Structure formats: C-alpha cells, structure tokens
Structure 1
C-alpha cells in the first residue's frame, strides 16, 4: 500500500513537472515548435495518466478479490435477508442521506418550514416501539442462552434463540436507516442549528457499520452494544416524542441534560467492554473489537465537545450574563445553548 501511494505521488508529480516544463519552453519557441512541443508533452502526460489508471484498476481488482473472499466468511444465515445480499444498497442510501442533508438545507433556505407536530410524535412513537422490541428480544434471548457479558463467542447455529438474536441485530441495523429521518425532519423544519457535525456523522456511520456487523457477526459480543443502545434510544425518543407535542410540554423535559450524560456513559461502557474482551483474548473477531473501540472514541470525543458547548460553556455564559445584569449592564441577544441528546442543539435568545 505504501509503495503504491509513493508510485502515485511520483506519477502525479511527473505530470505537474511536465506541464511546467512545457510552459517554460513554449514561451521561447516558434509557433510550429510550440505545436510539436505540446503534442510531445501531451503524449507523455497521457502515458502517465494511463499508468495511474492502471494502478487504480489493479487496486480495485485487489479490493474486489478481498471482498469476494470476505463474503465467503460471512454469516450464511443472513445472506438472503432484506438489504443483506450486497453492501451497495446500504452505501447508496448513506450517500443519498448526506446529499439530502447538504442540498436540502439550501433547498429550504428561502422556503417556509414545514409543520410536523403529530407526524413527529407518531414517528418517535414508532421508534420507541422498534427499539423496545430490539432491547427485549436481545435481553430475553441472551438470558435464555446464558450469554456472558464479558466474553461471548459468535454462534452461527440455527438454534431458534440464536436466530432470534440475529434477527434482533438486523432490526437494530435497519433502525439506523429509519433514524436518518431525524435529520430529514430537521431540514424540512429548518432546524439547521440542530444539524451538527456530530449528528450527521453519527447517522451516516451507524447504518453502514452495522451492515458489516450483521453480515459477519450477528451474535456473540455484538448483542451487548446493540442492547444498551436500543435501551438508550427508548429513553431518547420518549424525550423527542414529548418535545414534539409543543412548548407547553417543555416543563416535563427537565431531565434532558441527564439523557446526554446517559449517552456518554453508554459510550464509555461500550469502549471498556470491547477493550476488556481484547485483554481476555475473547474468541470474538479482533477486527470488530478494534473497530468498535476506534468508532466509540470518535463518538465519545464528539459528544464530550457537545456536552461542553451545550452545558459547561452555556452555564458560564449565563453566569457572566447574571453578573453583568447585577452591575446594571443590559445584554441583549446573548445566545445560550440548551443541549439535546444525540447531538441535537436547541438555541434560544435570552432577553
């Protein structure tokens, strides 16, 4: 891989150098000589570009060969399930999601926001039911099979309860596709302040990552993170459901800060769980454990930044605002952030 990157760098540098030489020489040549010089230089550039394309083609074929081999190692129980035959649909949906979020904000820029009070309430209610189903299925089936919370290898058997776990993990994967609508609703309601990098990153990565999880490890240790996350999402979408009913229900949402703290605890537990499995040399794919640790740290750091911006920094600004008011200074338009879990930030201007 390093040698390929070095070769590509050399070829691109050669194209740049050839272009500069052609320009320098052309400035001191007769028109006929310039024409010949351009032809020669163009041929050399095309030859170099052809070499780059050949390298890219070889790398694509190598990747395709690896992907085909990896498919032979995947879980045969899930190969015919919806969206599991190929990675392409999941990748296309994810790309379309990012495009919709990016261009949707521009599309709505000069348009009135849509009102979705009861649609949002029913949407959140549906996700509460879905996540509650996932949580209960994983809890009941793993308890029945005596799954270990510290180290549980993957069983690819056709035992009804193992299939039950695999199906619950598939529903968890599919729920990540449905949850992309969180952002679409923000776009249509022009809640652009809630479309943070954390929010989009989280939704754009969970769906494709869990396709890989279900395709190769639909069981074993995988149940732990999915079970915790689905429980958190039951609580989270309960919050969103109440919030969707209108500002008159805000008084019942005093616990939103604790929801964000609960999510932070979730990530710490998930990372710790994966790390201790590596230390124990648990019979579970190491690549999956390392992927979970790396991804967990990225989300944790982004959430910590969000928590600081939404609560710590906001609290300090409020203290400064109060101190300024007590000294007879009037401050208008100071923005204080009220954090909402999952990277959603609501802002309001204090008067």
Structure 2
C-alpha cells in the first residue's frame, strides 16, 4: 500500500523549475501566455468575424508568402539544430531522454532551442489570424484552433514545470520537420494557385501529422513499460499519451472527412 501511494505521488512530482525561466520574456509568469491564448480565441471566434462582417476579404498574398518563407527557414533551422544535438552530439540517452542537468556545458543551448520552439508556436497562431482576415472560415476547424492554442499553452507549462529539452526534443524534431513541409506546400500553392489542384502530396502532410503523434505516443509507452526508472515525470508521460491520442483521433477524423469520404461519394 505504501509503495502504491508513493508511485501515485510521484506521478504529480515535478522538478523544480529552471531558475533561467524567471529571467526570460514570456516565461516569468503564466499570465502572458494566458492572455495570448485568450486573445487568440476571442479574435478567432468573436472579434475577428465581427470586424470582417461588412468588409471584403483582405488580399494578404504577399504577406503570407513572406510568412511562409520565414516559417520554412525557422522550422528547417530548428530541425537541423535538434537533429544535430540528438543524433550527432548524442546529448540524450534515447531510452530515457531527461532534460540536461543545470551544470551541463550545453545546457544553455538546450534552453534556447526549446525557447525558440516555444516562440515559434506563438508565431503559428498567425495562420488562423490570416484565415479570419481573408474570410476563409471553413479552414478554422476545431482541430486547427485546438492544436494551435494547445501547443502554446502546453509548451509554456512543460518548460516551467519540468524544464527544457529532454523527451520533448522528440516533439521539436518531428514537429519542425512536419511544419517545414506544411509551410513549403502553403508557399508553393500560394505562389502558383493554378498548381494547387496538382499538388497531390497535400494529403500526405496530414498523414505525417498523424505519424508524429504516433511517435510521441509510442515513445511514452515504451519508456513506461521498459524503463520505469526513468526520471521523466510520470504525470507528463501520461499527459503526452493523452494529448497524442487526442490528436491522432482528431487528425484521423479530419483525414477521413477530407480525403476518404469524398472519394467514396464519387465512386
């Protein structure tokens, strides 16, 4: 009974937050992130549609093309940096990817890569803002809004309650690659709208989204089953399993409605 209670309490035991977070913009308090996510949701569902109600859609082609280029460069850089430190420098034990100790010589690198990933999730919110200003409301799905807001909110709490890097470096690696591919598609289809119908690989972007969440799910399950001594907090393992499962279901449902169901109707 005592061992059971100890295991239960360990599920909710977090490392002391990295003191570095007390000095970094947007990480010193939860209120900036709460305000950002709240303002995002208010604009997307209330303020934005009311503002655009009697206005024509804005022509944001050039702005979005520049945004897509910036996102491609940003995500490619993130992917290469994370890949380098995970597989070339080999900073983590792959069977238990714990955040580096505070006295690690490359702790500052781990911190700033994680922070850059967090900031990029905030930049991702502009996707939805552009949809509103262009009146592309059909693209503002529950999946889209939930995914964007959840990533900003959860990444803040991960950094504050657990630390930077570690097992979440897998997320940074996969997510950066997926987003590079996604923004490359957006750039090509935005630059040459006439090519959009011929870009057959669009649906595979959704498939890669599903695969990335399967990777996170499998990663946590393997650690829980085969490396129970891993110091990555149990609560966060279960949180990763829960969020991965939710996203797999939501993206799979989107894939079915967007690509499988229409095909059945035409047969």
Note the C-alpha offset of 1:72. 8.4
Q: Residue 260 in 1 paired to residue 203 in 2? A: no
Q: Residue 111 in 1 paired to residue 55 in 2? A: yes
Note the C-alpha offset of 1:110. 2.4
Unaligned runs of 5+ in 1: 1-69, 320-351
Partners of 1:145 and 1:161 within 8 A in 2? no
| Equivalent in the alignment of 1:220 | 166
SS of 1:225's equivalent? helix
Q: Deviations over 1:116-169 (max 9, x none)?
A: 111101101111111112212211123314423331222232434232122111
SS of 1:83's equivalent? coil
Note the C-alpha offset of 1:252. 5.3
Partners of 1:141 and 1:161 within 8 A in 2? no
| Equivalent in the alignment of 2:154 | 209
Partners of 1:176 and 1:203 within 8 A in 2? yes
Number of aligned residue pairs: give it. 250
Match of 1:137 among 81, 85, 96: 81
| Equivalent in the alignment of 2:122 | 177
CA pair 137-106 structure 1, distance change in 2 beyond 3 A = same
| Equivalent in the alignment of 1:192 | 137
Partners of 1:137 and 1:165 within 8 A in 2? no
After TM superposition, the structure 1 stretch with the greater mean CA deviation from structure 2, 82-91 or 220-229, is: 220-229
1:1-351 matches, within 5 Å, as 73-103=16-46, 104-143=48-87, 144-215=89-160, 216-250=162-196, 253-279=199-225, 280-281=227-228, 282-319=230-267
SS of 1:79's equivalent? helix
Partners of 2:92 and 2:98 within 8 A in 1? no
CA RMSD of aligned residues (A): 1.7
Q: Identify which of structures 1 and 2 has the higher relative contact order when contacts are C-alpha pairs closer than 8 Å and 6+ apart.
A: 2
CA pair 88-71 structure 1, distance change in 2 beyond 3 A = farther
For normalisation by structure 1, the TM-score amounts to 0.68
Partners of 1:173 and 1:210 within 8 A in 2? yes
Q: Deviations over 1:61-113 (max 9, x none)?
A: xxxxxxxxx99811123321111100100010000000000121232122100
For normalisation by structure 2, the TM-score amounts to 0.88
Structure 1 runs, 4 residues or longer, greater than 3 Å off? none
Note the C-alpha offset of 1:274. 1.2
Note the C-alpha offset of 1:219. 2.3
Query: Distance between the aligned counterparts of 1:157 and 1:296, measured in 2?
Result: 29
